[in-house]
Amino acid sequence: MTTVETSATKPMRTPNDSPLKIWFLAPLAIWLTVFFLLPLIFLLWIGFWRVENFQSVPDFSLGNYADIFASFFSKSRYGLALIQSLWVAITTAFFATILSYMVALSIAFAVPARWQRLALLIAIAPFWSSYVLRLYSWQTILSRNGVINSVLKQFGLADYRIDLIYTQIATRIGLIHYLAPILIVILYVSILAIDRVLIEAARELGCTRWQAFTRVILPLSRFGLMTAASFAIIVSLGDALSGNLLGGGAGTSIIGKLPTYASMIMSDYSSSTNLPRTSALATILIVVMVLALAAGFVAADRARRRTS
Amino acid sequence: MTSAAPSPHDLELLSITKNFDSFTAVDSINLKVGRGEFVAIMGPSGCGKTTLLRILAGLETASSGQLYIRGKDVSDVPVNLRSTRLVWQNYALFPHLDVAGNIAFGLTLKAHDKAIVAGKVKAMADLVGLSDLMGRKISQLSGGQKQRVALARALVTEPDILLLDEPLSALDAHLRIRMQGELRRIQKQLGMAFIYVTHNQVEAFSMADRVVVMNKGHIEQIDAPEDMYARPKTEFVARFVGTNNLFPGRIQEIGHGKAIVHCAHGQVQVSTDDPPPVGTGVFVVVQADKLKPAPTGVAGENRLEATVRGREYAGSHNIYLLDLVDGTEVKMTLPQVLPLEINQPTTIWFSPAHAALIRGAA
Ligand SMILES: Nc1ncnc2c1ncn2[C@@H]1O[C@H](COP(=O)(O)OP(=O)(O)OP(=O)(O)O)[C@@H](O)[C@H]1O
Ligand SMILES: [Mg+2]
């Protein structure tokens, strides 16, 4: 065995390397610190504070969490609301992603190249109006005496009146309408990145159009689909507006009438002066988001290994 | 098709033309490829070779003309149902699949027995020397390895006709010669017709039954390699194939199987059975290895005064670059080294029997 003197040898630096290169990380680092790390750390930290005489006092106490988890599935029903929110978020993300993928596919493959930008712009047009405005218009469409039911009545189908407003389905509709434009852009870009030659090659090797889709386009869209779905889950989990305006704050569900978890955090914030408790509630949501994402990625990775 | 007899041709192209807007990429191509024939296509970059292969594969629709594969008109047969298979010039491998997945791709599209597919894929990987790389991702392969995956992926499907677009261009000389041998063997063994596009003359001439030279979308000449080499029919082919010297001139006299051509640097005699009429503009074509230093002290025909301008040493032979009196540049290849200095005058010579005539000089 020969030992090499490593202490004396410096790592080789290519002439193209510059010690200043590290500074190009600065914009990313600043962005992450100011808009992500600091607020997050602050939130996590406050979750351990306690309240004394209606004043938040810095501390390291697990009291808030103990309080929350003590009644997690009983009185406060935070647990049930969280499960329901997860369920709504996952199903919303599922439908929103599939819907957006179909729109993105048709823009990328059915629209002539020079009209694609315009088609994309039109497809994401809903994004130009405000979210709250969109939710209110859905209210007028879905409500008991709203557009849909009026039309049904006109045709003498009053018996078939639908009761969508203030249900989880309405919550999902609002969320999907909100999410779709963003997902369409994400998915369109990821489809655009697929080399068309590969589709030709697949067809040339004997693929039907459908096989070219399942064997080449779909696997190569996987990353885009994962990104879109994760984005949709996170946004849906954190959203309280659609649940409040369309879900009626307590959308009917299999579990009963329950507000979404995000909406519970909101009301907790406005009805009590217990900011540390609210922070603890929010922290729980963040942990669930991270876990949901991790589970999603593991599942997608397993699926890929199995198919290839 | 009413006749029951199978067509003697694997492939028949009748004035196939392809226009991109106002640009004609493929210009009324007529070509018949016999059963199991190996046809090489050569031509400068952009002359329409890839476009022609794409038309055969069904990836491009010809603007006009007819295309028959084994006697059947395939104009209406979509790309995925054609019995051709293309080996892509830039590989077009699937990045989401590993080497084995890429090779197996075509076999897994219909109901299949996994064991049979695995066996075929393995045999093919052995053949192209990829057995050790089966689990590799495509992005982790070298250009030559990618090229072999592309080849294996097409070959393993055992098509009637294999269309190869410069399939060995990224391989080193040693591997290329071995793969050439393998391809030729497979082609013979399976009786598969090969349409083989290449920029490598040696490759085309040593592998193909017939060579097609294309230029600006049309075919200049179709011939067996030896004939193409010995008797180029157009100025373009003469300049493109081999190392030829072209002397533009005009027929001055004909008779007794000979023609005398008046060139800028003097008169030249050429043996020919079918001389063009007197006054026709022609090129006298002399291959570089048919030029010799003139024997001294003897008078004779086709002696050219020249000045040595340079020598290139190519291992087995020397390439001399000389200028004739009128400034025409000529190339002469010789096995030996001449006792000649640069810029020294000398006399070179060729036999009338070794020269050929091409019509067309102004
Ligand atoms: N889709 C297209 N639209 C317009 N022009 C095209 C198209 N495809 C090819 N061409 C043109 O047709 C001509 C022939 O192209 P092709 O790819 O067949 O050349 P090639 O002989 O294969 O060249 P190389 O040896 O460089 O591969 C080129 O001038 C090219 O610019
Ligand atoms: Mg080409």
Rounded Cα distance, A292 and A286, in Å = 10
Per-residue pLDDT tens over the stretch B122-133: 999 999 999 999
Map residue B83 onto helix, strand or coil: coil
CB contact under 8 A, A198 and B92: yes
Task: Kindly give the residue spans of alpha helices, DSSP state H, lying in chain B.
Answer: 49-57, 99-104, 114-128, 143-155, 173-190, 201-207, 225-230, 235-240
The answer to whether residues B350 and B291 touch, using CB atoms and an 8 Å cutoff, is yes
Better-scored residue on pLDDT, A251 or B360? B360
Q: In angstroms, rounded to a whole number, what is the distance separating the alpha carbons of residues B277 and B255? A: 10
pLDDT digits (tens, 9 = 90+) for B148-168: 999 999 999 999 999 999 999
E-strand ranges in A54-183 read 55-57
Taking the Cβ of residue A201 and every Cβ of chain B, the question of whether any pair is shorter than 8 Å is answered with yes
Q: Residue B95: its chain A contacts at CB < 8 A?
A: 198, 220
Cα(A226)–Cα(B212) distance, integer angstroms? 50
Which atom of ligand 1 lies nearest, measured to the CA of B60? 1
pLDDT of residue A20 exceeding 50: yes
A210 touching B (Cβ < 8 Å):
no
Q: Which of B80, B93, B94 sits opposite A203 (nearest CB)?
A: B80
* CA A30, A35, A37, A42 torsion-angle sign: positive
Q: What's the average model confidence in pLDDT over A178-193? A: 95
Q: Give the pLDDT of residue B5.
A: 63
Please tell me the distance from the alpha carbon of residue A171 to that of residue A87, in angstroms, as a whole number. Answer: 12
Q: What is the pLDDT of residue A303?
A: 66
End-to-end Cα, chain A, rounded Å = 43
Chosen for mutation from B50, B74, B80, B146 (greatest number of chain A CBs closer than 10 Å) is B80
**Ligand 2: centre distance to CA B34 (Å):** 23
Query: Inter-chain contact B85–A202, Cβ cutoff 8 Å?
Result: no
First vs last Cα of chain B: how many Å apart? 47
- Structurally, what CATH architecture does the domain formed by A77-307 represent? Orthogonal Bundle (1.10)
Pick the residue whose CA is nearest to atom 11 on ligand 1: B25
> B residues 137-176 near A, CB within 8 Å?
153-154, 157
Per-residue model confidence (pLDDT) at position B149: 96
CB contact under 8 A, B97 and A202: no
Label residues A172-193 b or e (16+ Cβ within 10 Å = b).
bbbbbbbbbbbbbbbbbebbee
Residue in chain A lying closest to B94 (CA): A198
pLDDT at position A250, please? 55
Q: Note the pLDDT of residue A305.
A: 64
Q: What is the DSSP letter of B98?
A: B
Q: Is the pLDDT of residue A59 over 60?
A: yes
Q: Of all protein residues, whose CA lies closest to atom 18 belonging to ligand 1?
A: B48
Angstrom distance (rounded) from CA A55 to CA A77: 26
Tell me, what DSSP letter sits at residue B275? Answer: P
* Region at B42 (left for phi over 0; alpha for psi -120 to 50; beta for the rest): beta
Share of chain A above pLDDT 90, in %: 45
Residue A1, pLDDT above cutoff 50: no
Considering every ligand atom, which ligand is closest to the CA of B198? 1
ipTM score of the complex? Answer: 0.86
List the shell of residues around ion ligand 2, using CB closer than 5 Å: B 50, 89
Which residues are CB-neighbours of A301 under 8 A, at least 6 positions away?
none
Residue B2 has pLDDT above 60, yes or no: no
* Residues of A in Cβ contact (< 8 Å) with B98: 308
Chain A CB contacts of B154 under 8 Å are 205
CB B201 within 8 A of CB B237: no
Surface of A (17-56) touching B: CB under 8 A: none
In three-state secondary structure terms, A7 is coil
Kindly report, residue by residue over B333-346, the tens digit of the pLDDT: 998 888 888 898 99
Using an 8 Å CB-CB cutoff, list chain A residues near B157.
Answer: 205-206
The predicted model gives B80-88 an average pLDDT of 95
Mean pLDDT of B131-145: 93
Supply the residue whose CA is at minimum distance from atom 17 of ligand 1: B50
Yes or no, beta carbons of A206 and B153 under 8 Å apart: no
Confidence class of residue B361 from pLDDT cuts 50, 70 and 90?
low
Residues of B in contact with A211 (CB under 8 A): 109
- Cα angle vertex B194, ends B191, B195, to 5°? 160
Confidence of residue A36 (pLDDT cuts 50, 70, 90): very high
The one-character DSSP state at B290 is: G
Alpha helices in B129-213 (DSSP H): 143-155, 173-190, 201-207
Q: DSSP string covering A134-157, please? A: HHHHHHHHHSTTSHHHHHHHHTT-
Q: Write out chain B residues lying below 8 Å of A216, CB-based.
A: 94, 96
> Residues 56-115, chain B: which have Cβ within 8 Å of A?
57-59, 79-81, 85-86, 88, 90, 92-98, 101, 105-106, 109-110
Q: Is the dihedral of CA B203, B206, B210, B213 positive or negative?
A: positive
The closest of A79, A41, A43, A90 to A292, measured between CA atoms, is A90
Q: Using the 8-state DSSP alphabet, how is residue A36 labeled?
A: I
Q: Which of B85, B96, B153 sits opposite A219 (nearest CB)?
A: B96
Instruction: Report the C-alpha gap between A96 and A177 in whole angstroms.
Output: 8
Pocket test for ligand 1, best of B17, B27, B49 (most atoms within 8 A of CB): B49
Average pLDDT over residues B275-298: 89
The reply to whether residue B94 touches residue A202, judged by beta carbons under 8 angstroms, is yes
pLDDT exceeds cutoff 80 at A90: yes
* Element holding B17 (H helix, E strand): strand B9-20
Q: In whole angstroms, give the CA distance from residue B146 to residue A167.
A: 55
User: Are A48 and A64 in contact, with CB atoms under 8 Å apart?
Assistant: yes
Q: Which of A199, A204, A214, A215 to probe by mutation at the B interface, max B CB count within 10 Å?
A: A204
In this structure, the residue with its CA closest to atom 6 of ligand 1 is B20
pLDDT for B171-228, tens place per residue?
Answer: 999 989 988 998 999 899 889 999 999 999 999 999 999 999 999 999 999 999 999 9
For residue B330, which of B283, B291, B300 has the smallest C-alpha distance?
B291
Locate the DSSP E strands across chain A: 50-52, 55-57, 251-253, 256-258
Write out chain B residues lying below 8 Å of A206, CB-based.
80-81, 106, 109-110, 157
**What is the rounded CA–CA span in Å between residue A94 and residue A123?**
19
Residue-wise pLDDT tens digits, A249-258: 654 454 556 7
Residue A304 distance to chain B (closest CA, Å): 10
Ligand 1 pocket, CB under 6 A:
B 20, 23, 25, 43, 45-51, 89
Is A229 in a helix, a strand, or coil? Answer: helix
pLDDT of residue B299: 74
Q: Closest Cα to atom 3, ligand 1: which residue?
A: B20
User: Atom 9 in ligand 1: which residue has the minimum CA distance?
Assistant: B51
